[in-house]
Amino acid sequence: MLKGGLRIWQTNDGALIPSAIDVEWVYSLSFSPDNSILALGSAGGLIILLETEKYEVLRYWEAHSWIVDDLTFSPDGMLLASVSRDKTFGLWQASDGKQMYKMSGKSDEPYLGLSSVAYSPDGKYIAVGASYGLIYLFTIDSNLEISQDKEWEAEEQGRNVNDLAFSRDGSILASASYSGVEFWAMPDCSLLKKIKQVPGWLTFSSDGTLLMMGNQFWTVK
């Protein structure tokens, strides 16, 4: 989370890139696949798109009524998926912010919403994790029609699904919660394996052979 502005550093020397952007608390961010756009999710529910030449605002819109906890671009960069603590999942056109789809979660608890979102590498699936332990899987067809395909309990104690990540070939969906990391076979979502007591965020390596969980690297077999 960042308060009072956006800070971006160069990876080669750690130098701070100047930016005049002044935003409220930033809870989530995502670069487009071609790195030309940076999307920000704010505490107040705004999605803000910046171009990455000078980090100036391209457009913004009111996507949710509360914190945007996670967002991600589609593999072609045309769509942007977001989830919020207001219990909604939204799919947006990146070009103009037009809403393509909206879904509301099921929890009646005031502070339990949708917490994580991930696109499959082929763009056919979107996985959404909830802070009450569920995962939802959505299918997107060639006409950009989206439908909810599956829903299942990923966290046995009903706690937060912190992060989601698809393997590079799209055959595995990994989910992280406070009790560990689960691996699900796609597209039937059957449980392949669970590693307990390894909390953290997830990133697959570019060749798909390693998975970073928190500060640990694990071999994917």
For the cut 50, the answer to whether the pLDDT of residue 91 exceeds it is yes
User: What does the alpha-carbon distance between residue 164 and residue 214 come to, in Å, rounded to a whole number?
Assistant: 13
Whole-prediction pTM value? 0.87
**Predicted confidence band at 2 (pLDDT cuts at 50, 70, 90)?**
very low
Write down the domain spans for the chain: 1-78+90-101, 105-221
User: What does the alpha-carbon distance between residue 12 and residue 58 come to, in Å, rounded to a whole number?
Assistant: 26
Helix (H, G, I), strand (E, B) or coil at 139: strand
Provide the token pair at 77: 């960069």
Question: Residue 148, Cα to own-chain centre: how many angstroms?
Answer: 17
**Predicted confidence band at 19 (pLDDT cuts at 50, 70, 90)?**
low
Provide the token pair at 102: 């909206």
User: What does the alpha-carbon distance between residue 66 and residue 88 come to, in Å, rounded to a whole number?
Assistant: 10
Burial code (b: 16+ CB inside 10 Å, e: under 16) for 166-187 equals bbeebebbbbbbebbbbbbebb
pLDDT of residue 61: 96
User: Which of the pair, 155 or 52, is modelled with greater confidence?
Assistant: 52
Over residues 26-82, the pLDDT tens digits come to 889 999 999 999 999 998 999 999 998 888 889 999 999 999 999 999 999 999 999
CATH number of the domain located at residue range(s) 105-221 in this protein: 2.130.10.10
Residue 202: which residues within 8 A CB-CB, separation 6 or more?
163, 164, 165, 174, 175, 176, 181, 211, 212, 213
pLDDT of residue 14: 83
pLDDT of residue 202: 77
